[in-house]
Amino acid sequence: MTVELSALEARVIGCLIEKALTTPDQYPLSLNALANACNQKSNRDPLLDLEDRDIQAAIDGLIAKHLVLERSGFGSRVPKYQHRFCNTGFGSIEFPPLDTAIVCELLLRGPQTPGELKARAARMAEVQDVGEVEVALTRLATREDGPFVVRLPREPSRRDSRYAHLFSGSVDVTQTAPVDVARDPRSPSSAERLDALERIVDKLRSEVDELKRRLGE
């Protein structure tokens, strides 16, 4: 994979892909429309407050990389922009619809779990269950012209691992999981806390069973 985007370029490409899929009648986008999309307060992480000159600089960089094309509509003097990032016939990257939606969401919101991606990608591609998303992520991580995504170490506060895109360079997976260096070494380990929780659950179940027995008498 030869594509490498800055964080701002990734936001611009993500917005162009998103709007091409969700509002095709308003695509390509003018600079103003693209600025609104980049600074959108929903489905964005982090939230940004970019100025037009920042976005124009990113557009110029993407045009130089042949990833964005300036294209004005008939009778319009306002420059409009469309991506050449994937599925356009201009480049070599072709994704199935669900893979495109997943890549778009990762560009817009950063690392996410398969469950989060299922909920968010559904507005751009048909998806039945999390299993489909996991299959798509595996495909993106193992393609010969990739990899395009990487699985991150599971964080202690999360049930599932998150996935990150690789269009902004490699990700140091050893640095992605937070380490609580200030934790008191005398405090319970994760395994000890889990055992304690399981004992509490078992006790609650016993109490519920006892209540059911008494009510049935």
Q: Are residues 168 and 185 in the same domain?
A: no
Cβ contacts of 196 within 8 Å, gap of 6 or more = 188
- Identify the domain containing residue 210 by its residue range: 180-217
Q: Sign of the C-alpha dihedral, residues 194, 195, 201, 204?
A: negative
pLDDT the model gives residue 178: 44
Residue 1 resides in a domain: no
Residue-wise pLDDT for 183-212, tens only, equals: 434 444 455 556 666 666 666 666 666 666
pLDDT the model gives residue 180: 39
> pTM higher than 0.85 for the full model?
no
CATH at residue 136: 1.10.10.10
Residue 135 resides in a domain: yes
Residue-wise pLDDT for 130-154, tens only, equals: 999 999 999 999 999 999 999 999 9
Residue-wise pLDDT for 85-134, tens only, equals: 999 987 789 999 999 999 999 999 999 999 999 999 999 999 999 999 99
